[in-house]
Structure formats: structure tokens, C-alpha cells
Structure 1
Amino acid sequence: MNCWKSVNVQKEVGINRIYLLSFLVGVLSFIFLFLPFAAIHQGYTLKDQGIFPLLIGLALLPIVHRIVHFIPLLVTKRTFKLKCRFNKMKFPIISVLSKARMSKRTSIITLLAPTVFLTLPGLIASYLYIDYFAYFLIFSSVNIGISYTDFIYTSKFIRAPRKCIVENDGTGYDILI
């Protein structure tokens, strides 16, 4: 097999730009989502549950986002390696590495799983639960911001040849033909 392209967004874009663009995408998604939902729910008042449940939910969201990435790998019965380590602030960092090579479709589904399983239910819940719609929109917007690098990788995979195989080496992806 020949390597068609190696994709590492952190090297191509830069980690500081990724953080900045991810933050901007999250804030803009909240603004663009809050305005229509506020217009839909304009006669209702929001229930305030305090800052601590919000902070706990926002702290757990990146962990849940990472774990949701391996749901398609479980469904397709792929072997994967789940690594958990703690950074200096004792916050867990979870990495999911697929041991087997994946098809282009499986890779795209794996990358878009947090958007499908976290963001879309959050938007539906913000429509259904009127009293807490702002909280659900905050969680959905933060998840969209976290998914920014997933969207970049997905756009690279979509441009790849149809019959390619994607391999994850821990630092990026190799698209093999």
C-alpha cells in the first residue's frame, strides 16, 4: 500500500490557531443558535440551576466527546486502544487509537459520531425543554467547537480517493491507497 497523504491538523494549522478557531466556532454557533431558539421560546422564562451544574457539565463534555468517538468502532467490532492519562492539572486526557485500518466511510462516521450523538440531541432537547434551552444550547455549541478538528479531518477524508484505507498512528492519520 502506498501513502496517498498524511494528515496532521496540529502540524498543518497549528495548535494555537486550532484553539482560537475552535473557540470562535463555538461562540458563533451559540450566537446563531440562540437567536432562533430565543425567538421560538420568547414567552417563557429560563430556570436557573446555578453555575456549578453548568461547570461540571462543561468539564465532562470533552471526556464524553472522546468516548463517543469509539461508539462506531464498537458497532463495527473494530479493535481499538483506549488510553487515559492525566495532565498536570489532574484532568484526564482520553485517546482512542484504532489498531485496525479503517475504510474511508468508517473513518468519517467515527469522526462525525459526537456531532450526531451529542449535538443533534442537544438541539432537539433545547427545542423540547423550554425552561432549560439555553443550557442545552451552550452544551451543543461547546461540542460544535470541540468538533472543529473533526470537521477538518472529515473534509480531508472526503477529498480522498474512494477505495482508500485510513490508519491512525496517534499523531495524525495516514490515507493509504
Structure 2
Amino acid sequence: MNCWDSINVTKQLGFYRSLILSSLFGLLSFIFLYLPFTLIHKDIIVKDHGLIPVILGVAILPLLHKALRILPLKVTNKHLRIKWTLEKKFIPNFHVGNHSKTSKPTLFFALLTPTIVITIPCIVSSYFVPSYYPYFLLVGAINLSLSYIDFLYIRHLWKAPKKCLISNEEQGYDILIPR
């Protein structure tokens, strides 16, 4: 196998620039989602249960996002190594083992799964459960912010050849093509 391209969005953009762009994408998505729903739900009183449920929901969201991204890879690749760690002694986190190879459609689906499973139901729920619509939109916008880097990887993978394998490396992906 020959390496067709190496993709490392954090290295190309820089950590702080990718963090700023991701935050800006999340903020703009919240604004563009919140405005129409405010017009739809004009006379609705928003229920408030305090700040603690919101903080817990937002704290769990990155772990759920990462788990949903890994789930399709684990289903299709039985030999995928997942390493669990505790950061700061109480925050669970996990990483996919290096040098695991997957196909292009599987990686596309894995990168889009958090958006499909979290963001779209949040937007639909904000329409059908109007008393909690700002909270659903907030969770959806934060998930879109987390998905920003995934969208950049999808943009790079779109240009890759159809019959390629993608290898998970330390900070990015290597696109491998047969000789």
C-alpha cells in the first residue's frame, strides 16, 4: 500500500485556530437555529430546572460524541483497539488504537454519526417540545461545534480515491491506495 495523502487538520490549521473556528461555527449555528425557533415558538414559556442539568448535559456531550464516532468503527472492525483513560482522575476519555485501517464509506459514516444521532434529533425535538427548545438547540449547536473538525476531515476524504483504506494515525489519518 502506498500513502496517497496524510490528513492532520490540527497541524494544518493549528490548535488554537481550529478551536476558534469550531467555537465560532457552534455559536453561529446556535444563532441561526435559535432565531427561527424563537419566531415559531413566540408564546411559549421556557421551563427552567436550574443550571446543573444543563452543565451535566454539556459535560457528557463530548464523551457521547466520541463514543458515537467510534461505534460504527467498532461494529465494522472487530480488531479495533480502544484505550480508556481517566483524565484528571474523574473525566473518562478513550482513544482509538493507532494503525487501524478502515474503508472510506465506513469512516464517512463514522464521522457523520454524531451529527445524525445527536444534532438532528435535537433540532426535531426543539420543534416538538417547545418548552425546552433552547436547551435542545444549545446541545445541537455544541455538537455541531464538536463536529466541525469531522466536517473538515470529510472534506479531505471526499477527494480521496474510491478504493482506498484510511489508517488512523497519532494525530490524523493516512489515505492508503493499493499499488
Instruction: Give the TM-score range, shorter chain.
Output: over 0.9
2-structure distance, mates of 1:146, 1:38: 24
In the superposition, relative to structure 1, how do residues 103 and 77 fare at CA in structure 2: closer, same or farther (>3 Å)? closer
Structure 1: tracts of 5 or more residues without a match: none
2-structure distance, mates of 1:105, 1:156: 13
Deviation, structure 1 residue 103: 1.0
3-state SS of 2:81 partner = strand
In the superposition, relative to structure 1, how do residues 97 and 124 fare at CA in structure 2: closer, same or farther (>3 Å)? farther
Which residue type is aligned with residue 44 of structure 2?
Answer: Y
Of residues 136-145 and 6-15 in structure 1, the stretch that sits farther from structure 2 once superposed is 6-15
TM-score by length of 2: 0.93
1-structure distance, mates of 2:116, 2:69: 11
Which residue type is aligned with residue 35 of structure 2?
Answer: L
1-structure distance, mates of 2:16, 2:89: 19
Which residue type is aligned with residue 47 of structure 1?
Answer: K
Of residues 35-44 and 135-144 in structure 1, the stretch that sits farther from structure 2 once superposed is 35-44
Matches within 5 A, 1:1-177: 1-88=1-88, 90-97=90-97, 100-177=100-177
CA RMSD, aligned part only? Answer: 1.6
Structure 2: tracts of 5 or more residues without a match: none
Q: Is the 8 A contact 1:80 1:98 kept in 2?
A: no
3-state SS of 1:175 partner = strand
Deviations 1:21-59 (A, max 9, x none): 111001000000001111111121100111010001101
List structure 1 runs of 4+ shifted beyond 4 angstroms: none
Q: Is the 8 A contact 2:29 2:141 kept in 1?
A: yes
Of residues 121-130 and 78-87 in structure 1, the stretch that sits farther from structure 2 once superposed is 78-87
Which residue type is aligned with residue 109 of structure 1?
Answer: F
Q: Is the 8 A contact 2:6 2:174 kept in 1?
A: yes
Q: Percent identity?
A: 42
3-state SS of 1:147 partner = helix
* Pairs aligned (count): 177
Deviation, structure 1 residue 171: 1.7
1-structure distance, mates of 2:155, 2:97: 20
Deviation, structure 1 residue 10: 1.3
Which residue type is aligned with residue 53 of structure 2?
Answer: P
2-structure distance, mates of 1:12, 1:77: 28
Of residues 66-75 and 50-59 in structure 1, the stretch that sits farther from structure 2 once superposed is 66-75
Deviation, structure 1 residue 77: 4.5
Which residue type is aligned with residue 111 of structure 1?
Answer: L
Which residue type is aligned with residue 2 of structure 1?
Answer: N
